[in-house]
């Protein structure tokens, strides 16, 4: 039995495979090489890995790390029929020049529901999602200890709960409310379920990390499965771009799962998330504001001596 199944979904393009290589390198350097529990790595992709990625995969295989490479058609995996009519591109929430493709929404459904039925997870206790652009720049002993000794239903990186844009959560709170109104469901829900549904409507939140630790026994329980099936039936993932992050956040709140923050890492996914001690968080915030490196895509592999000094990280 594996304690963890670290899981990637990789798009078939050069940048995604390059990002994956950097992400997996840092994951191994800062986490995998430090934990002493049994784990494996699942890589879902639609084609062959790049040469750069294969060099790293082969190096890890030589260390007796189990790596499963699954080639899939994402559209077929999430069972989206070509005959189903959805808006091909959904407007981006913060940039009028960008859109969310229907493939992006396939990815949201994949991580919200379909992945947890996969046969490769039957021998694992916890699922850990890692995105190709998830980069662990620094990890402390506290983070490693809390991760490998986790007993909660859900783990997320501290400091990453944030507001979701209401433009991509339209109708989501009402969907949750309609689910909660069912007579056979009511007795299993928290008394404040109406407040939870109202929050999802007017002030929606999510765990924004693209790194999460999920107890597979919890996520496969009957009530959670019924909730996810109800959400998927509403087709809001495709018509309104409901993301897997907001679905997970409110599934946890409605079903009463135990969610714990994981502290002790400096993590980058689009922005920087620092869950180390208070002093380090203050220094990192000041430093990023001064040099404007907060959103730079290449920061994780191009650190200067000043970066490493002020952020208190080792050379990558």
| Percent of the chain topping pLDDT 70 | 96
If asked whether residues 279 and 245 sit together in one domain, one would say no
Over range 190-205, report the average pLDDT. Answer: 94
CATH of the domain at 102: 3.90.550.10
* Distance of alpha carbon 264 from alpha carbon 197, whole angstroms: 32
214, HSE (Cβ side, Cα atoms, 13 Å): 28
If asked whether residues 111 and 48 sit together in one domain, one would say yes
If asked whether residues 163 and 307 sit together in one domain, one would say no
Confidence band, pLDDT 50/70/90 cuts, at residue 294: low
If asked whether residues 291 and 190 sit together in one domain, one would say no
CB neighbours (10 Å) of residue 304?
Answer: 11
Of 24-38, 78-92, 125-139, which range is least confident? 78-92
* CB neighbour list of residue 136: distance below 8 Å, 6 or more residues apart: 26, 27, 30, 31, 265, 266, 267
* Distance of alpha carbon 82 from alpha carbon 30, whole angstroms: 42
Cα dihedral 244/252/270/18 (nearest 10): -60
If asked whether residues 256 and 191 sit together in one domain, one would say yes
Pairing of strands 205-207, 124-130: unpaired
pLDDT of residue 285 exceeding 90:
no
If asked whether residues 226 and 278 sit together in one domain, one would say no
* CB neighbour list of residue 302: distance below 8 Å, 6 or more residues apart: none
If asked whether residues 293 and 223 sit together in one domain, one would say no
Burial of 99 (0-12, 13-18, 19+ CB in 10 A): middle
Of 42-56, 83-97, 282-296, which range is least confident? 282-296
If asked whether residues 280 and 156 sit together in one domain, one would say no
pLDDT of res. 43 = 98
Asked if 44 contacts 72 with a C-beta cutoff of 8 angstroms, the reply is: yes
Domain range for 285: 274-311
Residue 316 placed within a domain:
no
Q: What is the per-residue pLDDT across 231-266, written as a single tens digit (0 to 9) for each?
A: 999 999 999 999 999 999 999 999 989 999 999 999
Closest CA to 307 of 263, 270, 264, 272: 272
pLDDT of residue 94 exceeding 60:
yes
pLDDT of res. 20 = 96
Total count of domains within the chain: 2
Residue 42 placed within a domain:
yes
Over range 287-295, report the average pLDDT. Answer: 69
pLDDT of res. 312 = 85
Residue 34 placed within a domain:
yes
Residue 178 placed within a domain:
yes
If asked whether residues 89 and 219 sit together in one domain, one would say yes
* Distance of alpha carbon 270 from alpha carbon 66, whole angstroms: 29
């Amino acid at each position: 039995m594996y304690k963890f199944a670290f899981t990637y979904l990789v798009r078939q393009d050069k940048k995604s495979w390059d990002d994956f290589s950097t992400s997996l390198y840092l994951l191994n350097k800062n986490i995998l090489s430090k934990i002493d529990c049994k784990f494996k790595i699942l890589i879902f992709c639609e084609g062959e890995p790049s040469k750069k990625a294969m060099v790293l995969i082969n190096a890890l295989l030589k260390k007796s790390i189990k790596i499963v490479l699954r080639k899939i058609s994402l559209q077929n995996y999430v069972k989206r029929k070509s005959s189903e009519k959805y808006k091909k591109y959904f407007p981006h929430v913060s940039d009028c020049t960008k859109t969310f493709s229907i493939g992006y929404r396939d990815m949201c459904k994949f991580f919200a529901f379909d992945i947890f039925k996969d046969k490769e997870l039957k021998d694992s206790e916890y699922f850990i999602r890692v995105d190709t652009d998830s980069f662990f720049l620094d990890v402390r002993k506290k983070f490693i200890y809390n991760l490998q000794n986790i007993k909660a239903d859900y783990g997320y990186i501290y400091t990453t709960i944030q507001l979701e844009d209401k433009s991509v959560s339209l109708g989501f709170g009402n969907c949750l409310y309609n689910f909660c109104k069912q007579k056979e469901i009511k007795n299993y829900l928290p008394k404040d379920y109406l407040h939870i549904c109202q929050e999802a409507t007017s002030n929606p939140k999510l765990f924004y990390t693209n790194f999460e630790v999920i107890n597979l026994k919890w996520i496969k329980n009957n009530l959670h499965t019924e909730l996810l099936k109800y959400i998927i039936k509403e087709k809001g993932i495709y018509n309104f771009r409901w993301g897997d992050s907001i679905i997970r956040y409110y599934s946890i709140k409605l079903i009463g799962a135990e969610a714990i923050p994981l502290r002790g890492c400096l993590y980058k996914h689009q922005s920087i998330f620092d869950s180390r001690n208070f002093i380090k968080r203050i220094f990192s915030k000041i430093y990023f504001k001064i040099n404007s490196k907060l959103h730079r895509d290449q920061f994780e592999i191009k650190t200067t001596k000043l970066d490493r000094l002020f952020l208190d990280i080792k050379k990558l």
